[in-house]
Amino acid sequence: MSTNAIGIVGLGLMGCDVAAIFLAAGWHVQAAEPDSANWDARRERVSVSVGQLGGDFRSERLRVVESVEALEWQNIKLVIEAAPEQLELKQKIFAELDRLVPPHIPIGSNASGFRITDISCSCQSRNRMANLHFFAPAHLVPVVEVVRGEFTDPAVTEALYDIMKTVGRMPVRVNRDVPGFLANRIQHALMREVFAVIDEGLGTVEDVDTAVRYGFGFRYVAAGPILQKEFAGLDTHISAARSIYPSLSTSAEPSLILEEVVSEGRLGMKTGRGFWSWTPEQIRQERERYERTLLAALKLLRESRASTEQ
Ligand SMILES: NC(=O)c1ccc[n+]([C@@H]2O[C@H](COP(=O)([O-])OP(=O)(O)OC[C@H]3O[C@@H](n4cnc5c(N)ncnc54)[C@H](O)[C@@H]3O)[C@@H](O)[C@H]2O)c1
């Protein structure tokens, strides 16, 4: 039985799902979460996510404590910070981790916007710190970006990469610490054009979702964008690129429509309204459908991968 353990700092939305990944892989989890009023709810969430991964949630393998100081380092192989996205808070947590975590243990941050170079800049042991960027829901989306900061020792990113493979993830190495790392740069390039299309009245929000989800997005479960172009022919692609690129958005600012809805407090499901309106029951149903579909896609991806590895 494995006695490997992970330390997680912040057992919120992402921390819970990261905990589930490791528990489902047979690891132990110790989590530092100051909001003790929510511990039961978080344990329940972790339990459901472990179940979705086909694992058996064993309560004694998840130890939740109030602070980093209360973590026990004996079996911990890595620490992942998943506290709120505030630079000062993350810098404070990393200063604490710098001081308290034994030097041989690598430390990752799940920050989605802040560079590890900036989070760890004042830490003495910043060479063992990297971004370890998961995508929500972290237990269902297989990719995790392992980002080397300006101070990160390459051996640390390799160790993190190997651990991610061990627990069934699809790690991707990102060799420079740039905003958005690798995947979010691509995603935001798409989203800039998505909102430009709506701003310009080329189509509705429904048209955009349909075109991506039932069009080129649908293909991505079977092939990434480069492999897909190998099927389609790179000559066709370059010719389309030459004619389309000149008219694509190059705006350095978010679109008018996006600024407008956000300034009206329409933030999506969390405020009950974004581009659509949401009742709590609709949110519950949509989330269930979303996760069910992701799980089915995950199963297909695993089968497809297994068949290419045979
Ligand atoms: N939610 C997403 O879709 C998503 C996706 C990728 C990355 N991320 C990143 O993951 C990180 C966590 O996001 P989240 O959505 O889980 O946030 P969240 O607010 O759900 O969870 C954060 C948790 O950290 C706890 N916390 C606060 N201060 C702390 C401290 N000093 N020490 C330990 N824990 C503390 C909070 O009580 C909370 O439970 C952020 O950096 C976010 O940008 C989020």
Answer yes or no: is 18 within a domain: yes
Map tokens 């991505």 to a residue.
220
| End position of a domain, from candidates 255, 276, 294 | 255
Q: Is 32 in the pocket of ligand 1 (CB under 6 A)?
A: yes
CATH of the domain at 215: 1.10.1040.10
* 195 in the same domain as 71: no
* 25 in the same domain as 118: yes
* 230 in the same domain as 170: no
* 214 in the same domain as 89: no
Question: Among 144, 32, 27, which residue's Cα sits nearest to residue 81?
Answer: 32
CA–CA separation, 241 and 162 (whole Å): 37
Q: Is 55 in the pocket of ligand 1 (CB under 6 A)?
A: no
Answer yes or no: is 305 within a domain: no
Answer yes or no: is 19 within a domain: yes
| End position of a domain, from candidates 124, 141, 174 | 174
Residues 120-178: pLDDT tens digits?
Answer: 999 999 999 999 999 999 999 999 999 999 999 999 999 999 999 999 999 999 999 99
For residue 136, what are the domain limits?
Answer: 5-174
Residues 251-291: pLDDT tens digits?
Answer: 999 999 999 999 999 999 999 999 999 999 999 999 999 99
Distance 305 CA to ligand 1 centre (A): 31
Count of the separate structural domains present in the chain? 2
Q: Nearest residue CA, atom 15 of ligand 1?
A: 13
* 168 in the same domain as 67: yes
Distance 13 CA to ligand 1 centre (A): 7
Q: Is 78 in the pocket of ligand 1 (CB under 6 A)?
A: no
pTM over 0.85: yes
Distance 89 CA to ligand 1 centre (A): 11
Q: Is 33 in the pocket of ligand 1 (CB under 6 A)?
A: yes
Distances (CA, A) of 177 to 46, 98, 110, 174: 30, 20, 13, 7
